[in-house]
């Protein structure tokens, strides 16, 4: 449930829970469209430049360090995706508009959840998250797809099982 995790290997189902003391709040917008993971993977190039790979890996390391150091500025800086977002965003209706709204309303981070169609914003406060959520609602009510919005606090413990 909740929090952050780093998937080390999908074959062995190995994931590492990443605990943090950052007080973060999320907003998830899920438009009621189907994007198959298998199809979504085909839009990502099989090869990327070394320069892009280095930027992506550097950001992953920085993002992970930011969680452990409780550094929101570093977290926001390292959240830029150089590989997936560029290629998958065209599959998600209104992606650019949602991202602009998230940033304009103070979100630290905006990105694609998994292969989509869900997108998320991470915010420093519940007040900011509610402003982002309200702006998403205003935009999406005017559009052609049904949608659901979710919000809450990010679990500081990291991903864990509830018994």
Sequence spans of domains, the chain: 4-153
Residues of the chain above pLDDT 70, percent: 93
More confident residue, 7 or 81: 81
Single out the residue of 156, 155, 158, 89 nearest to residue 118, CA to CA.
Answer: 89
Task: Taking residues 84-94, report their average pLDDT.
Answer: 90
Measured distance CA(17)–CA(11) in Å, rounded: 17
Confidence of residue 60 (pLDDT cuts 50, 70, 90): very high
Are the beta carbons of 25 and 120 closer than 8 angstroms? Answer: no
Query: According to the model, what pLDDT value does residue 158 have?
Result: 60
Counting every residue, how long is the chain?
A: 163
Cβ neighbours of residue 123 under 8 Å, at least 6 residues apart?
24, 25, 26, 27, 106, 107, 108, 129, 132
The pTM for the full model equals 0.85
pLDDT of 12 > 80? The answer is no
Most confident of the following: 9-13, 43-47, 147-151: 147-151
**Dihedral of the alpha carbons of 89, 109, 96, 41, in degrees to the nearest 10:** 0
Q: Please state which of the four CATH numbers 3.65.10.10, 3.30.70.2740, 1.20.120.1200, 3.30.70.890 is assigned to the domain occupying 4-153.
A: 3.30.70.890
Measured distance CA(104)–CA(139) in Å, rounded: 13
Are the beta carbons of 1 and 17 closer than 8 angstroms? Answer: no
Query: According to the model, what pLDDT value does residue 1 have?
Result: 42
């Amino acid at each position: 449930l909740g929090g952050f995790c780093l998937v080390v290997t999908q074959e062995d189902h190995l994931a590492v829970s990443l605990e943090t003391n950052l007080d973060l709040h999320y907003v998830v917008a899920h438009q009621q469209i189907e994007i198959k993971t298998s199809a979504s993977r085909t839009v990502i190039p099989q090869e990327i430049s070394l320069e892009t790979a280095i930027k992506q890996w550097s950001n992953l390391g920085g993002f992970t360090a930011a969680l452990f150091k409780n550094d929101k500025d570093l977290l926001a800086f390292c959240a830029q995706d150089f590989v997936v977002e560029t290629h998958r965003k065209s599959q998600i209706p209104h992606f650019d508009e949602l991202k602009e709204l998230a940033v304009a309303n103070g979100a630290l981070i905006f990105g694609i959840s998994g292969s989509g169609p869900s997108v998320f914003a991470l915010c420093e406060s519940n007040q900011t998250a509610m402003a982002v959520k309200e702006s998403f609602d205003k935009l999406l009510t005017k559009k052609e797809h049904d949608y659901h919005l979710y919000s809450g606090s990010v679990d500081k413990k990291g991903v864990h099982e509830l018994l």
